[in-house]
Amino acid sequence: MSGNYLPRNRAAEWLGRAVLGLLGWRVEGQLPALDKFVAIGAHHTSNWDFVIFIALKFVLRVNVCWFGKHSIFRWPFGRLMRRCGGIPIRRGQQDNTVEQAVQAFAEHREFILVLSPEGTRKKVERWKMGFYHIALGARVPVLLAALDYANRRVFIGPVFWPSGDVAADLARILEFYRPFIPKKPEYAFYGD
């Protein structure tokens, strides 16, 4: 799985560790030894989630791609966001994002896509299921990862293989996330 890992960059690793350390965060769990998977991070309720994600990316030296709202890719940060694996998308437009992601998995021997199922930092009534349809279409598992603000930890959990029964699979995924407390618990979706 060497292609999913970035060359050693001591400055980036130091920065990632420094950020996590200053914020009092730790990492629990390990990335799976797989060449391809979709990783979901939940619950996404704060801009701090992104800071922790980038710090984690630097610490783990993992080469990941992620979708972000097109407006965060403007100057002066656009180039940096793309260098960190960001892919701008325009929400609300039907641009076949799922199909494009499935194609990207088909075209690469090694590929990790990180998504937030909420798709926003605000309260949502349901998760966006693009992550699920991408994994199902690409025939790759979903890595479940959580931000646990109550215990200041990033928890890298198990991989989950979609069965095609969306309702049953979503119920199992949401059950995994139930014990983890986000920055703004009132925004978290648990399927209730």
CA distance 158 to 144: 6
Q: What is the pTM of this model?
A: 0.83
pLDDT digits (tens, 9 = 90+) for 147-179: 999 999 999 999 999 999 999 999 999 999 999
Burial state string for 138-163 with b = 16 or more CB within 10 A and e = fewer than 16: bebbbbbbbbbbeeebbbbbebbebe
Domain boundaries, the chain: 30-45+63-185
| 13, 88 Cβ separation under 8 angstroms | no
Give the SS3 label for residue 8: coil
pLDDT digits (tens, 9 = 90+) for 32-76: 999 999 999 888 888 888 889 889 988 998 888 777 767 767 787
